[in-house]
Amino acid sequence: MKETAIFAGGCFWCMVKPFETQPGILKVVSGYTGGQVPNPTYEQVTTGLTGHTEAVEITFDPEVISYAELVNIYWQQTDPTDALGQFADRGTSYRPVIFYQGDAQRKVAEASKKALAASGRFSEPIVTQIEPAQTFYPAEEYHQDYYKKNPLHYGRYREGSGRAGFLRENW
């Protein structure tokens, strides 16, 4: 049995490795979702005019890793107080969103967001959106497994964008 989860947390390059390295993860695909244009390209999405958000689609075995565990991993890759992008990546195509598939995922995501808000970890409100999943379009091949194909650039980007420092300080 397998399920899927879709998360948007800024640049999809940085959202693959934290999930892919977990037991029970079968596949992580970088792509685009939430917009109006069918089969969008990276160039189209980055204009901010398609309505799409960079995201990852995670195929997982729920008997090994639960959706709730995936949501917890998701929070720890993002700044949940920034609705206008993530780190150096700004605009709607980089907004943080948990795209749920079905009522069970919606309930888990909403409860997790509420718990994070109540935890006091952040002084600002938790603004990550929780929205119904829409069609997910895989990104171009050069975006898939970017951290493996371009490890030096990936590492510099993760640090230079401010993501790595924020995560170290806040999670």
Q: 47: domain CATH number? A: 3.30.1060.10
Q: Is residue 170 part of a domain?
A: no
pLDDT mean for each 10 residues of the chain (171 residues):
97 97 98 97 95 98 98 98 96 97 98 97 97 98 97 96 97 94
Catalytic amino acids? Answer: 11
Comparing CA positions, the residue from 100, 157, 154, 104 lying closest to residue 131 is: 100
Q: Which two tokens stand for residue 73?
A: 């991993």
> CB within 8 A of 77, min separation 6: which ones?
9, 14, 15, 18, 163, 167
64 and 78 in contact (C-beta within 8 Å)? no
Q: Given this model, what pLDDT does residue 1 score?
A: 87
Q: Has residue 132 been placed in a domain?
A: yes
Contacts 24+ apart (CB under 8 A), 119-122: 121/170, 122/80, 122/81, 122/170
CB 55 within 8 Å of CB 31: yes
Can you tell me the distance from the alpha carbon of 52 to that of 19, in angstroms, rounded to the nearest whole number? 21
Domain that holds residue 97: 3-164
Sign of the four-CA dihedral 6, 137, 64, 1: positive
Q: Is-contact 141 29, C-beta < 8 A?
A: no
Is the Cβ–Cβ distance between 54 and 90 less than 8 Å? no
pLDDT at 78: 98
User: Total structural domains in the chain?
Assistant: 1
> Is the separation of the CB atoms in 33 and 5 below 8 Å?
no
151 within some domain:
yes
**What pLDDT shows up at residue 170?**
96
Does the residue 169 lie in any domain? no
Helix, strand, coil percentages (3-state) for the chain, rounded to 5, are 40, 20, 40
